[in-house]
């Protein structure tokens, strides 16, 4: 499994550029030209709308919204949030629910490194912190085509959460949004979270993969990407 830090800690990357790159890598993984690949990055601010997004959930202030082919509904990506896009071949028969649970587990294990207890809420994807109201720490939205995944999970490290106030995040109006820094009460950067996700994600998703990585083997990345894959900002 190649784990690629896509300009992480250097610059933000545009959502549309990375979506195009995901499709390119997806084709390569499907055809066997590239191994399972995970992109780790930090997006420039953008709203993305999954297939189940209702009109009433969208921002009304003219903000950019990209309609995408993943499951789920409306969410925000931007500075202070680590996004992980695993593009991996799932074992046959494909179990999408088990794969989503694996992504959630990787975040739960990551949050525990800062003493934050993440968990699941029945009927709602993502990772949550218990309370009144419950607070969403990470959003999950995936697509599986020809047995290979796209999109993935977004973890709030130390993001400014105000963009969520302009939408109904993931279509859930009775819950809040939080970050690891807020819950831990101390600084937690995107690079900190990336280090932890690199440790936990391969092990969490391994049971779902067609070709799990060898036990104890380190990630093989960074992968070599086409120079034109993501234009410079």
Q: Annotated catalytic sites, by residue?
A: 170
Nearest one of 125, 136, 132 to 159, comparing CA atoms: 136
Q: How far apart are the C-alpha atoms of 221 and 151, rounded to whole Å? A: 19
Q: Which residues of 8-37 are buried (b: 16+ CB within 10 A; e: fewer)?
A: beeebbebebbbebbeebbebbeeeebbbb
Question: Does residue 65 sit in helix, strand or coil?
Answer: strand
Q: By C-alpha distance, which of 15, 110, 13, 31 is closest to 68?
A: 15
Residue with tokens 């993001």: 159
Query: Could you tell me which residues are beta bridge partners of residue 93?
Result: none
Contact status, residue 233 vs residue 11, Cβ threshold 8 Å: yes
The continuous run of DSSP H or E covering 199 comes out as: helix 190-205
């Amino acid at each position: 499994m190649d784990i690629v830090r896509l300009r992480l800690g250097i610059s933000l990357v545009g959502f549309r550029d990375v979506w195009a790159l995901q499709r390119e890598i997806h084709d390569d993984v499907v055809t066997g030209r590239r191994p399972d690949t995970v992109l780790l990055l930090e997006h420039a601010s953008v709203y993305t709308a999954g297939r189940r997004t209702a009109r009433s959930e969208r921002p009304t202030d003219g903000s950019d919204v990209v309609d995408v082919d993943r499951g789920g509904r409306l969410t925000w990506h931007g500075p202070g949030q680590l996004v992980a896009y695993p593009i991996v071949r799932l074992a046959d028969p494909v179990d999408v629910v088990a794969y989503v649970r694996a992504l959630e587990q990787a975040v739960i294990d990551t949050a525990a490194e800062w003493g934050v207890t993440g968990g699941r809420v029945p009927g709602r994807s993502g990772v949550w912190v218990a309370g009144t109201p419950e607070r969403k720490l990470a959003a999950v939205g995936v697509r599986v085509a020809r047995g290979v995944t796209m999109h993935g999970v977004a973890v709030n490290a130390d993001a400014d959460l105000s963009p969520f106030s302009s939408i109904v995040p993931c279509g859930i109006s009775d819950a809040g949004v939080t970050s690891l820094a807020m819950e831990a009460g101390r600084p937690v950067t995107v690079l900190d979270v990336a280090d932890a996700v690199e440790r936990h994600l391969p092990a969490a998703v391994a049971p779902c993969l067609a070709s799990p990585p060898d036990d104890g083997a380190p990630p093989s990345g960074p992968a070599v990407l086409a120079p034109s894959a993501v234009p410079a900002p």
